[in-house]
Amino acid sequence: MEPTLLSERRAGSGRVESARPRGDRRWAIAALLAVVIVAGCQTAPPAGPPESGHAQAKAALKSFGFVEGDDGWTLSLAEPILFEVSRDDVKPETAKSLASVTQGLLDLGIREVRVEGHTDNVGSRAYNAELSRRRAEAVARVLIANGFPDAGITRRGWAAEYPVAPNDTAEGRAQNRRVSIVVLP
């Protein structure tokens, strides 16, 4: 069963994009990263990604705190991108970490990410959908302020659809008020 997408928008275009994963995304990101690392410029990818470049790209992403998943590489900072109840402002220490991550992504030649906002299950679905979208937008603004291209950021608001912890405790709800950054394959 495919998840329900509550809101998704590509910056500057005003269009809603499909939430369906593209089958060739993993190969495309591997090829892109390999080319950037091996060639040092934005040229067309060679016939196949060099294994050493692919390994270097994976190692670089892991060093920034990204974890490979089915839908791309998701940022997993030691201190996750969390929010207070009903808030969408990025904490100063989180903004500092995001500045470092942004520079690392740019250094690797990565110019496309998805920023996903989440909430706990307190409040109406409509309220949480809007709040999760605002949280994604707040993190996107930090990335843009640090040089990431606005057009390369897709924002999604998932509301309480994908909790990482049970919502029946205050601690669990706090962990669910978060934003994830996914490097698109």
What's the pLDDT tens digit per position in 33-83? 333 333 232 333 333 333 445 777 778 777 777 888 887 888 766 678 999
Residue ranges of domains in the chain: 22-62, 64-185
72's CB contacts (< 8 A; 6+ apart) are 25, 29, 114, 182, 183, 184, 185
Mean of pLDDT values over 126-146: 98
- pTM, to two decimals: 0.67
CA separation for the pair 105, 102 (Å, rounded): 5
CB 105 within 8 A of CB 149: no
Helix (H, G, I), strand (E, B) or coil at 9: strand
Q: Are strands 81-82 and 66-69 parallel, antiparallel or unpaired?
A: unpaired
Number of C-alpha atoms within 13 angstroms, CB side, residue 65?
15
Q: Please check the confidence at residue 124 and state whether its pLDDT lies above 90.
A: yes
Residue 78 parent element (H or E): none
Q: Please check the confidence at residue 13 and state whether its pLDDT lies above 60.
A: no
Mean pLDDT value across the chain: 77
Closest to 116 measured CA to CA, from 131, 129, 135: 135
CA separation for the pair 137, 139 (Å, rounded): 5
Q: Please check the confidence at residue 122 and state whether its pLDDT lies above 70.
A: yes
CATH number of the domain located at residue range(s) 64-185 in this protein: 3.30.1330.60
Phi-psi region of 14 (alpha: psi -120 to 50; beta: other; left: phi over 0): left
CB 45 within 8 A of CB 32: yes
CB 64 within 8 A of CB 75: yes
Q: Are strands 66-69 and 72-75 parallel, antiparallel or unpaired?
A: antiparallel
List pLDDT tens digits, range 167-181: 999 999 999 999 999
Q: What tokens appear for 112 in the block?
A: 């496309």
List pLDDT tens digits, range 76-119: 666 789 999 999 999 999 999 999 999 999 998 999 999 999 99
CB 30 within 8 A of CB 185: yes
CA separation for the pair 66, 59 (Å, rounded): 10
